[in-house]
Amino acid sequence: GEYVTVGHSVTLHGCAIGDRCLIGMGAVILNGAWIGADSIIAAGTLILEKTVVEAGSLWMGSPGEFRRKLEDKDRAAVMRYAKNYLGYKDAYLAEKK
């Protein structure tokens, strides 16, 4: 998806990630899983095969479980992180010219 932040040591295997998601460090998302837009998968979470994560939700644990719906402040933070990383990329490319 667009504006997705994938943390360090994440494993994404045969899954789909919607727009504006945050996948926390060390998370594992397995075959056939679908992560709906505007969602957060917490650090260290295991999303099992064929799991459907409803848009706008926070999942945590191993195996991952729904914890709560995201609030506007959560969605804003996800976009802020994604835009920060895009800025880092742009700064890096500018240095290489």
* Pairing mode, strands 40-41 and 16-17: unpaired
- Give the alpha-carbon dihedral of 21, 60, 26, 34, to 10 degrees: -50
Q: Tell me the per-residue pLDDT of 55-88, one tens digit each, with 9 for 90 and over.
A: 999 999 999 999 999 999 999 999 999 999 999 9
What's residue 96's pLDDT?
83
Q: Tell me the per-residue pLDDT of 26-57, one tens digit each, with 9 for 90 and over.
A: 999 999 999 999 999 999 999 999 999 999 99
Q: Please name each of the domains of the chain with its CATH number.
A: 5-96 (2.160.10.10)
What's residue 70's pLDDT?
98
The CA distance from 59 to 41, in Å, is: 5
